[in-house]
């Protein structure tokens, strides 16, 4: 039997490693169980430091435009076309190049169109299956030339992870080019099962995945455009380490909606009605809007709802949608009023307006910095507002809201999508000298960060963003615990028969998601108020005006930008990037601000805003701003070679092309190398035991 007192059989504590360091190394040993494994990985990482930095694509304010986003991802913000032109040069005619690009962008759709032609041409020429194999082999050969150009930026293991296992042998043979007859034989065998086309599809996907080291989406995935559900599906189906997110204010209300938070649910519903986007709710998430139709029939059946006429086209009668939008808006104002009352620290009591309506006089009193003023109401039909208790739902509204809340909280796909947003998202991101957030750092006129109380602490600037991110994540953790208790009858409050998941009674953090949507000191909003009530009910333009935070004007001051950058650990070479506020090119606005060190990339990506949009592309030697155009359709890409060929402007250049070692990723890589070398030494000293 082994001697239990023999110190050689027990990991030793080295004086060179602290207890905390030893614990970390033991955890790392689960991935690298031997010294050879640790040193081999350290060697590979060391070589990685001298590779060019990977391309980072930053895009913002997608607003539900899933088809356009898909194309921008598939053509790498316009970068794949010039790469194909450079690598393949004179090997393809203009028509062949257009066909080849359509295969890279949309392989399944393109091959469905082209495959019958290839088969027919082979039969006509007497080549039969041989002609088909020759075409597939030729297409794959061209794709492999593009893959060779792209893989120079990556370690072999990353390329292997992105390569489908079922085609790995084929791709290795094609990329080596040493024995072409072998991959041809593989393709002939695949063709007998009609699977050779799948190899082309897999190669196209590999090219697209290698074209971007990271896709950073700076907020506002939904609203106004048709399908937030498809936008999120598209992003979730990218390789796991490519997509990262920052939250926008529109994302906040969607996240709050799955928690069963009434103001968030009603804001989501109102946007869907205003822009006639019910499909994302009903088809996408299985959320029923029929309770709203019943409420309309019961309370708004003869209401002209002239102030609520929806935008766009749809299947429902537009008058029904207008009445639904009005019914939603009234419930939203009620729910918001109760929420504001719960948070006196927000100083938003002046935005509770329902009790200031004089229904007999047909007026409303609105207070501002200039004092209170009475305005005529443009719509005085308010059948569900009780002047004596204006913020309570009517009996009909309560029935409607209970069913809507259940529908939102019961949607498994919505929950999956919002959990992913929370896990992958945050309030700000830094990529070397580039600092990115959705909207702003709230400041006063002098440029000093505004503060507010979060969790009992007065915070501003970076601390405010970090505190709010903590609240968001906590809201979802609390909701999961409450959901589990609600599902367990032994955990329910027997005196009340259980509590509604997501309501303010058991998840007060959910209120903050709505504050992120439209609170005056929300870093995701950046205005003094949301004038939704005024836009519906008051004609006065001054009353409807929403004042932007001074941040947006101060972005033209290079010194201010540097000061903001320092809050986030950036140097004076910082480039601040934000979305949220569309750049109005038609009014002479420019994305790059006056100081030259800030850029706004909300370029009206949504069709509702202008159908343009920007991607900021971080490259080793420069930073480019790609301005997109209208996307026609997938059919147009395949039939006529239509593409979004962006107008590219270089906004920053570097004297020397940056390697991985010159970036934040390089700092993390060197730290990992040190950990692995320490692990190898710990193995050798017996501090951590090797496991064969």
Number of structural domains the chain divides into:
3
pLDDT digit string, tens, across residues 451-509: 999 999 999 999 999 999 999 999 999 877 666 555 555 554 443 333 344 455 568 89
Alpha carbon distance 649, 640 (integer Å):
27
3-state secondary structure of 217: strand
Alpha carbon distance 95, 98 (integer Å):
5
pLDDT at 25 over 80: yes
Among 191, 210, 229, residue at a domain's last position: 210
Alpha carbon distance 393, 395 (integer Å):
6
Mean pLDDT, rounded, for 517-539:
96
| Domain assignment of residue 274, yes or no | yes
Sequence-distant (6+) residues with CB within 8 A of 562 are 572, 574, 597
Whether residues 40 and 141 fall in one domain: no
Whether residues 269 and 163 fall in one domain: no
Q: Are 128 and 115 in contact (CB under 8 A)?
A: no
| Domain assignment of residue 688, yes or no | no
pLDDT digit string, tens, across residues 153-195: 899 988 999 999 999 999 999 999 899 999 999 999 999 999 9
Sequence-distant (6+) residues with CB within 8 A of 169 are 186
| Domain assignment of residue 451, yes or no | yes
| Domain assignment of residue 174, yes or no | yes
CA 608 distance to own-chain centroid = 19
| pLDDT at 151 (0 to 100) | 92
Whether residues 45 and 84 fall in one domain: no
| pLDDT at 485 (0 to 100) | 54
| Token pair for 147 | 């893959």
Sequence-distant (6+) residues with CB within 8 A of 185 are none
pLDDT digit string, tens, across residues 393-437: 999 999 999 999 999 999 999 999 999 999 999 999 999 999 999
Among 181, 210, 239, residue at a domain's last position: 210
| Domain assignment of residue 24, yes or no | yes
Whether residues 530 and 407 fall in one domain: yes
CA 166 distance to own-chain centroid = 30
Dihedral of alpha carbons 498, 499, 502, 506, sign: negative
| Domain assignment of residue 336, yes or no | yes
| Domain assignment of residue 131, yes or no | yes
φ and ψ of 288, to 5 deg? -85, 135
Q: Closest Cα to residue 356, out of 178, 543, 190?
A: 543
Whether residues 472 and 329 fall in one domain: yes
Alpha carbon distance 564, 485 (integer Å):
43
| Domain assignment of residue 242, yes or no | no
Whether residues 163 and 279 fall in one domain: no
Among 544, 568, 588, residue at a domain's last position: 544
pLDDT at 356 over 70: yes
Whether residues 202 and 323 fall in one domain: no
* Structural domain of 29: 7-51+664-679
pTM: 0.90
Whether residues 391 and 530 fall in one domain: yes
Whether residues 44 and 89 fall in one domain: no
């Amino acid at each position: 039997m082994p001697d239990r007192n023999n110190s050689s059989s027990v990991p030793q504590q080295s004086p060179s490693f602290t207890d905390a360091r030893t614990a970390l190394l033991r955890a790392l040993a689960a991935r690298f169980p031997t010294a050879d494994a640790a040193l081999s990985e350290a060697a590979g990482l060391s070589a990685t430091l001298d590779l060019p930095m990977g391309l980072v694509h930053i895009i913002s304010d997608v607003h539900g435009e899933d088809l356009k986003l898909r194309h921008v991802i598939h053509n790498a913000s316009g970068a794949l076309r010039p790469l194909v032109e450079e690598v393949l040069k004179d090997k393809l005619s203009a028509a062949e190049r257009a066909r080849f690009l359509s295969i890279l962008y949309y392989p399944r759709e393109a091959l469905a169109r082209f495959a019958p032609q290839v088969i027919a041409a082979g039969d006509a020429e007497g080549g039969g299956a041989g002609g088909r194999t020759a075409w597939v082999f030729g297409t794959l050969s061209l794709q492999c030339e593009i893959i060779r150009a792209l893989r120079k930026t990556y370690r072999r293991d990353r390329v292997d992870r992105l390569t489908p296992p079922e085609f790995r042998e084929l791709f290795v043979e094609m990329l080596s080019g040493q024995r072409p007859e072998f991959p041809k034989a593989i393709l002939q065998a695949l063709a007998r099962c009609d699977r050779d086309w799948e190899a082309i599809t897999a190669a196209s996907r590999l090219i697209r995945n290698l074209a971007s080291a990271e896709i950073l989406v700076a907020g506002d995935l939904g609203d106004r455009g048709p399908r937030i559900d498809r936008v999120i599906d598209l992003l979730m189906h990218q390789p796991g380490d490519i997509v990262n997110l920052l939250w926008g204010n529109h994302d906040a209300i969607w996240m709050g909606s799955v928690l069963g938070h009434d103001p968030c649910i009603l804001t989501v519903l109102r946007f869907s009605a205003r822009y006639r986007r019910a499909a994302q709710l009903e088809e996408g998430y299985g959320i029923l809007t029929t309770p709203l139709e019943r409420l309309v029939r019961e309370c708004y059946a003869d209401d002209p709802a002239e102030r609520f006429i929806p935008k766009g086209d749809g299947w429902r009668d537009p008058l029904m949608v207008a009445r639904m939008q009005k019914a939603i808006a009234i419930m939203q104002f009620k729910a918001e009023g109760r929420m504001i009352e719960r948070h006196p620290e927000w100083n938003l009591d002046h935005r509770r307006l329902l009790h200031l309506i004089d229904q007999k006089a047909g007026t409303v009193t609105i207070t501002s910095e200039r004092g209170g003023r009475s305005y005529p109401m443009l719509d005085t039909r308010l059948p569900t507002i009780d002047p004596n208790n204006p913020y309570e739902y009517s009996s009909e509204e309560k029935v409607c809201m209970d069913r809507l809340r259940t529908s939102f909280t019961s949607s498994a796909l919505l929950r999956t999508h919002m959990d992913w947003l929370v896990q992958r998202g945050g309030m700000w991101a830094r990529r070397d000298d580039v600092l990115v957030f959705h909207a702003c750092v709230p400041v006063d006129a002098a440029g000093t960060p505004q503060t507010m109380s979060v969790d009992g602490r007065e915070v501003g600037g970076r601390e405010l963003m970090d505190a709010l991110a903590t609240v968001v994540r906590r809201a979802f953790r609390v909701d999961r615990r409450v959901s589990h208790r609600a599902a367990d009858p032994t955990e329910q409050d027997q005196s009340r028969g259980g509590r509604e998941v997501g309501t303010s009674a058991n998840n007060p953090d959910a209120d903050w998601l709505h504050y992120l949507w439209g609170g005056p000191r929300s870093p995701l909003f950046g205005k003094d108020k949301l004038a939704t009530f005024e836009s519906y009910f008051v004609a006065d333009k001054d009353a409807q005006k929403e004042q932007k935070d001074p941040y947006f004007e101060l972005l033209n001051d290079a010194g201010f930008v540097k000061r903001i950058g320092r809050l986030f650990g950036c140097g004076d070479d910082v480039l601040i990037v934000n979305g949220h506020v569309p750049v109005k090119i038609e009014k002479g606005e420019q994305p790059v601000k006056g100081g030259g060190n800030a850029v706004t990339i909300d370029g009206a990506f949504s069709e509702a805003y202008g159908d343009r949009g920007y991607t900021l592309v971080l490259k080793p030697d420069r930073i480019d701003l790609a301005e997109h155009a209208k996307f026609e359709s997938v059919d147009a890409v395949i039939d006529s070679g239509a593409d979004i060929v962006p107008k590219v402007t270089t906004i920053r250049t570097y004297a020397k092309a940056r390697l991985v070692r010159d970036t934040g990723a390089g700092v993390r890589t060197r730290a990992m190398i040190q950990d692995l070398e320490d692990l190898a030494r710990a193995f050798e000293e017996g501090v951590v035991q090797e496991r064969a």
